[in-house]
Amino acid sequence: MKTAAAEQGVSLFLISAFRSLQYQHDLIAGKLRKGRSLEQILAVNAAPGFSEHHSGCAVDLGTTDCDALVEEFENTEAFQWLEENSGSFGFVMSYPRDNPHGLVYEPWHWCYQPSSI
Ligand SMILES: [Zn+2]
């Protein structure tokens, strides 16, 4: 998918993919230590065992003209390209605005679901 985007002059790269249970645990524990409430944390990070990143099918994507993992990603050429082309590669956006999981909008988080093709 990255190559197909590049052929059309769109920069797209992988920020993060598979995460283990331990990693997800440490990520949340680290934020708790910094004084964030569990409620705040779970609005942006799934609890260990519930992250799509455990499945190995989820990817966080980035592009050169935007900071990593920010909502402004939706205004990039890369996001436009994903909206138009990701479906033919079997990728769907997991957490669109007002998603039923109660997680914040993540325009950078896509999941490989071949059955969606
Ligand atoms: Zn993600």
Mean pLDDT in order along the chain per 10 residues (117 residues): 97 95 95 96 92 94 95 98 97 94 93 82
The alpha carbon of 53 and the centre of ligand 1 are apart by a number of angstroms equal to 6
Distance 70 CA to ligand 1 centre (A): 11
Do residues 110 and 95 touch, judged by C-beta distance below 8 A? no
What confidence score (pLDDT) does residue 115 get?
Answer: 80
Predicted local distance difference test score (pLDDT) of residue 103: 86
Task: Look at residue 116 in the predicted model and tell me its pLDDT.
Answer: 65
59 Cα: distance to centroid of ligand 1 (angstroms) = 6
Closest CA to 73 of 104, 50, 33: 104
Can you tell me the distance from the alpha carbon of 6 to that of 18, in angstroms, rounded to the nearest whole number? 23
Distance 106 CA to ligand 1 centre (A): 7
* Ligand 1 mean position, distance from CA 8 (Å): 25
Cα 32 to ligand 1 centroid, rounded to whole Å: 19
Element holding 13 (H helix, E strand): strand 13-16
Please state the pTM of the whole predicted model: 0.86
| Residue 117, pLDDT score | 64
| 89-97 LR contacts (CB < 8 Å, sep 24+) | 89/1, 89/4, 90/114, 90/116, 90/117, 91/1, 91/59, 92/116, 94/52, 94/58
Per-residue confidence (pLDDT) for residue 102, from 0 to 100 = 84
Residues 6+ apart with CB under 8 A from 67: none
> From ligand 1's centre to the CA of 7, what distance in Å?
25
Ligand 1: centre distance to CA 71 (Å):
13
